[in-house]
Structure 1
Amino acid sequence: MAKTLYKVTFHNHGKVYELYARKVASSGLWGFTEVGELVFDVHDGLVVDPTEERLRDEFGGTRALHLPMQSIVRIEEVEKKGQAVIRDAETGEKVVTPFPLPAKPR
Protein backbone atom coordinates (compact mmCIF):
# COMPACT_ATOMS: atom_id res chain seq x y z
CA MET A 1 0.00 0.00 0.00
CA ALA A 2 1.35 3.43 -0.94
CA LYS A 3 2.16 5.82 1.87
CA THR A 4 0.11 9.00 2.19
CA LEU A 5 1.56 12.06 0.45
CA TYR A 6 0.91 15.64 1.55
CA LYS A 7 1.46 18.95 -0.23
CA VAL A 8 2.33 21.55 2.42
CA THR A 9 2.07 25.25 1.53
CA PHE A 10 3.53 27.74 4.01
CA HIS A 11 4.98 31.26 4.32
CA ASN A 12 8.72 31.65 4.89
CA HIS A 13 10.64 34.99 4.70
CA GLY A 14 8.17 36.74 2.38
CA LYS A 15 7.81 33.76 0.06
CA VAL A 16 5.32 30.91 -0.20
CA TYR A 17 6.89 27.44 -0.21
CA GLU A 18 5.18 24.32 -1.55
CA LEU A 19 6.82 21.09 -0.36
CA TYR A 20 5.79 17.45 -0.38
CA ALA A 21 6.03 15.24 2.69
CA ARG A 22 4.97 11.80 3.89
CA LYS A 23 4.31 12.83 7.49
CA VAL A 24 2.26 15.71 8.93
CA ALA A 25 1.29 15.78 12.60
CA SER A 26 0.87 18.00 15.62
CA SER A 27 4.29 18.95 16.91
CA GLY A 28 5.50 18.39 20.44
CA LEU A 29 6.09 22.15 20.44
CA TRP A 30 2.92 24.04 21.29
CA GLY A 31 1.51 26.00 18.31
CA PHE A 32 3.58 24.17 15.70
CA THR A 33 2.88 21.53 13.06
CA GLU A 34 5.49 18.86 12.37
CA VAL A 35 6.24 18.07 8.73
CA GLY A 36 8.58 15.14 8.14
CA GLU A 37 9.88 12.75 5.52
CA LEU A 38 10.20 15.46 2.86
CA VAL A 39 9.99 14.16 -0.72
CA PHE A 40 12.22 15.52 -3.50
CA ASP A 41 12.64 14.38 -7.11
CA VAL A 42 15.79 12.46 -7.86
CA HIS A 43 17.23 13.67 -11.16
CA ASP A 44 19.63 11.33 -12.92
CA GLY A 45 19.63 13.20 -16.24
CA LEU A 46 20.79 16.64 -17.32
CA VAL A 47 17.50 18.47 -16.85
CA VAL A 48 17.48 19.91 -13.35
CA ASP A 49 14.83 22.14 -11.81
CA PRO A 50 16.75 24.97 -10.05
CA THR A 51 13.91 25.56 -7.57
CA GLU A 52 13.80 21.89 -6.58
CA GLU A 53 17.60 21.96 -6.20
CA ARG A 54 17.38 25.05 -3.99
CA LEU A 55 14.74 23.40 -1.81
CA ARG A 56 16.78 20.20 -1.59
CA ASP A 57 19.85 22.23 -0.57
CA GLU A 58 17.84 24.09 2.08
CA PHE A 59 15.81 21.17 3.48
CA GLY A 60 17.59 18.02 2.25
CA GLY A 61 19.14 17.10 5.60
CA THR A 62 16.05 18.02 7.60
CA ARG A 63 14.42 15.23 9.60
CA ALA A 64 11.36 17.31 10.47
CA LEU A 65 10.16 20.87 10.04
CA HIS A 66 8.29 22.43 12.95
CA LEU A 67 6.22 25.13 11.27
CA PRO A 68 4.26 27.74 13.24
CA MET A 69 0.55 27.12 12.66
CA GLN A 70 0.01 30.72 11.50
CA SER A 71 2.59 30.30 8.70
CA ILE A 72 0.77 27.34 7.13
CA VAL A 73 -1.51 28.26 4.25
CA ARG A 74 -2.79 24.77 3.42
CA ILE A 75 -2.06 21.07 3.79
CA GLU A 76 -3.43 18.83 1.03
CA GLU A 77 -3.47 15.05 0.82
CA VAL A 78 -2.51 14.29 -2.79
CA GLU A 79 -2.19 11.16 -4.92
CA LYS A 80 1.05 12.04 -6.69
CA LYS A 81 3.88 14.50 -6.29
CA GLY A 82 3.88 17.68 -8.32
CA GLN A 83 6.57 20.29 -8.66
CA ALA A 84 7.91 21.78 -5.42
CA VAL A 85 8.02 25.56 -5.83
CA ILE A 86 8.83 28.84 -4.13
CA ARG A 87 6.51 31.74 -4.96
CA ASP A 88 6.61 35.43 -4.15
CA ALA A 89 4.01 36.01 -1.41
CA GLU A 90 2.63 39.19 -2.99
CA THR A 91 2.51 38.35 -6.68
CA GLY A 92 2.30 34.56 -6.64
CA GLU A 93 5.03 34.41 -9.31
CA LYS A 94 7.50 31.55 -9.11
CA VAL A 95 10.86 32.56 -7.66
CA VAL A 96 13.50 30.97 -9.84
CA THR A 97 17.17 31.23 -9.06
CA PRO A 98 18.92 31.53 -12.43
CA PHE A 99 21.90 29.37 -13.22
CA PRO A 100 25.13 31.27 -12.60
CA LEU A 101 26.73 32.65 -15.73
CA PRO A 102 30.46 32.48 -16.31
CA ALA A 103 32.31 35.60 -15.29
CA LYS A 104 33.48 37.93 -18.05
CA PRO A 105 37.26 37.81 -18.58
CA ARG A 106 39.04 41.02 -17.67
Structure 2
Amino acid sequence: MAAPEHIYRVIFHSQGKVYEIYARKVADGGLLGFVQIESLTFGERTQVVVDPSEERLKSEFAGVKRTFIPMHAIIRIDEVEKEGAPKITDAEGKVTHFPMPFYGPGRGRD
Protein backbone atom coordinates (compact mmCIF):
# COMPACT_ATOMS: atom_id res chain seq x y z
CA MET A 1 0.00 0.00 0.00
CA ALA A 2 1.48 3.33 -1.05
CA ALA A 3 1.96 6.12 1.45
CA PRO A 4 -0.63 8.90 1.13
CA GLU A 5 0.46 12.07 -0.68
CA HIS A 6 0.62 15.09 1.61
CA ILE A 7 -0.62 18.42 0.29
CA TYR A 8 0.15 21.63 2.14
CA ARG A 9 -1.47 25.04 1.77
CA VAL A 10 1.10 27.73 2.50
CA ILE A 11 -0.10 31.29 3.07
CA PHE A 12 2.51 34.04 3.27
CA HIS A 13 2.85 37.76 2.59
CA SER A 14 5.25 39.39 0.17
CA GLN A 15 5.40 42.97 -1.10
CA GLY A 16 1.93 43.95 0.15
CA LYS A 17 0.25 40.84 -1.26
CA VAL A 18 -0.92 37.62 0.38
CA TYR A 19 0.08 34.47 -1.51
CA GLU A 20 -1.71 31.15 -1.12
CA ILE A 21 0.15 28.26 -2.75
CA TYR A 22 0.00 24.48 -2.58
CA ALA A 23 2.99 22.16 -2.28
CA ARG A 24 3.80 18.52 -1.66
CA LYS A 25 6.83 19.13 0.59
CA VAL A 26 7.40 21.70 3.34
CA ALA A 27 10.44 21.65 5.64
CA ASP A 28 12.57 23.89 7.81
CA GLY A 29 15.29 23.66 5.16
CA GLY A 30 18.96 24.28 5.58
CA LEU A 31 18.82 28.08 5.75
CA LEU A 32 18.30 29.54 9.20
CA GLY A 33 15.07 31.55 9.37
CA PHE A 34 13.56 30.20 6.14
CA VAL A 35 10.88 27.64 5.33
CA GLN A 36 11.68 25.40 2.34
CA ILE A 37 8.78 24.69 -0.01
CA GLU A 38 9.15 22.08 -2.78
CA SER A 39 7.00 20.49 -5.47
CA LEU A 40 4.60 23.36 -5.97
CA THR A 41 1.30 22.22 -7.45
CA PHE A 42 -1.01 24.13 -9.71
CA GLY A 43 -4.40 22.73 -10.64
CA GLU A 44 -4.56 21.57 -14.22
CA ARG A 45 -7.86 23.09 -15.17
CA THR A 46 -9.64 22.01 -18.31
CA GLN A 47 -12.13 24.85 -18.05
CA VAL A 48 -12.32 27.66 -20.53
CA VAL A 49 -12.30 30.23 -17.71
CA VAL A 50 -8.76 31.22 -16.70
CA ASP A 51 -7.99 32.66 -13.26
CA PRO A 52 -5.50 35.53 -13.79
CA SER A 53 -4.20 35.21 -10.22
CA GLU A 54 -3.34 31.54 -10.73
CA GLU A 55 -1.75 32.27 -14.11
CA ARG A 56 0.40 34.98 -12.47
CA LEU A 57 1.54 32.50 -9.83
CA LYS A 58 2.37 29.90 -12.49
CA SER A 59 4.53 32.37 -14.38
CA GLU A 60 6.17 33.71 -11.20
CA PHE A 61 7.14 30.21 -10.02
CA ALA A 62 7.84 28.73 -13.48
CA GLY A 63 10.98 26.59 -13.36
CA VAL A 64 11.28 26.85 -9.56
CA LYS A 65 12.39 23.55 -8.03
CA ARG A 66 12.19 24.80 -4.45
CA THR A 67 11.65 28.16 -2.84
CA PHE A 68 12.71 29.52 0.53
CA ILE A 69 10.22 31.82 2.26
CA PRO A 70 11.37 33.90 5.25
CA MET A 71 9.86 32.46 8.41
CA HIS A 72 8.49 35.84 9.49
CA ALA A 73 6.52 36.14 6.22
CA ILE A 74 4.58 32.90 6.80
CA ILE A 75 1.01 33.44 7.95
CA ARG A 76 0.07 29.77 8.21
CA ILE A 77 0.76 26.29 6.84
CA ASP A 78 -2.03 23.70 6.70
CA GLU A 79 -1.99 20.08 5.64
CA VAL A 80 -5.12 19.71 3.50
CA GLU A 81 -6.97 16.77 1.98
CA LYS A 82 -7.15 18.20 -1.52
CA GLU A 83 -5.55 20.96 -3.49
CA GLY A 84 -7.39 24.25 -3.93
CA ALA A 85 -6.85 27.14 -6.28
CA PRO A 86 -3.63 29.06 -5.63
CA LYS A 87 -4.12 32.82 -5.52
CA ILE A 88 -2.66 36.23 -4.80
CA THR A 89 -4.75 38.80 -2.94
CA ASP A 90 -4.14 42.27 -1.57
CA ALA A 91 -3.23 42.32 2.11
CA GLU A 92 -6.19 43.83 3.91
CA GLY A 93 -5.60 45.62 7.16
CA LYS A 94 -2.23 45.73 8.82
CA VAL A 95 0.07 42.73 8.43
CA THR A 96 2.63 42.79 11.20
CA HIS A 97 5.87 40.86 11.04
CA PHE A 98 6.63 38.47 13.86
CA PRO A 99 9.14 40.18 16.17
CA MET A 100 12.62 38.82 15.57
CA PRO A 101 15.71 39.61 17.63
CA PHE A 102 18.34 41.61 15.79
CA TYR A 103 21.93 40.76 16.52
CA GLY A 104 24.22 43.07 14.64
CA PRO A 105 27.79 44.14 15.27
CA GLY A 106 28.16 44.93 18.97
CA ARG A 107 24.49 44.19 19.80
CA GLY A 108 23.25 41.31 21.90
CA ARG A 109 26.65 39.83 22.62
CA ASP A 110 27.19 40.90 26.21
Check whether TM > 0.5.
yes
Aligned to 1:99: none
What root-mean-square deviation, in Å, do the aligned CA atoms of Structure 1 and Structure 2 show? 1.2
Q: Does the CA-based 8 Å contact 2:42-2:85 persist in structure 1?
A: no
Aligned to 1:16: 18
Unaligned runs of at least 5 residues, structure 1: 92-106
Aligned to 2:72: 70
Instruction: Indicate which of 24, 36, 61 corresponds to 2:38.
Output: 36
Counterparts of 2:73 and 2:45 in 1: how far apart (Å)? Answer: 30
Secondary structure, aligned partner of 2:53? helix
Structure 1 length as normaliser, TM-score? 0.80
Counterparts of 1:47 and 1:87 in 2: how far apart (Å)? Answer: 19
Secondary structure, aligned partner of 2:24? strand
Unaligned runs of at least 5 residues, structure 2: 94-110
Structure 1 residue runs of 4 or more that deviate by more than 4 Å after TM superposition: none
Secondary structure, aligned partner of 1:2? coil
Counterparts of 2:42 and 2:88 in 1: how far apart (Å)? Answer: 14
Counterparts of 1:43 and 1:77 in 2: how far apart (Å)? Answer: 22
Q: Does the CA-based 8 Å contact 2:26-2:35 persist in structure 1?
A: yes
Aligned to 2:108: none
Kindly name which structure, 1 or 2, has the bigger radius of gyration based on alpha carbons: 2
Instruction: Indicate which of 49, 52, 70 corresponds to 1:50.
Output: 52
Structure 2 length as normaliser, TM-score? 0.77
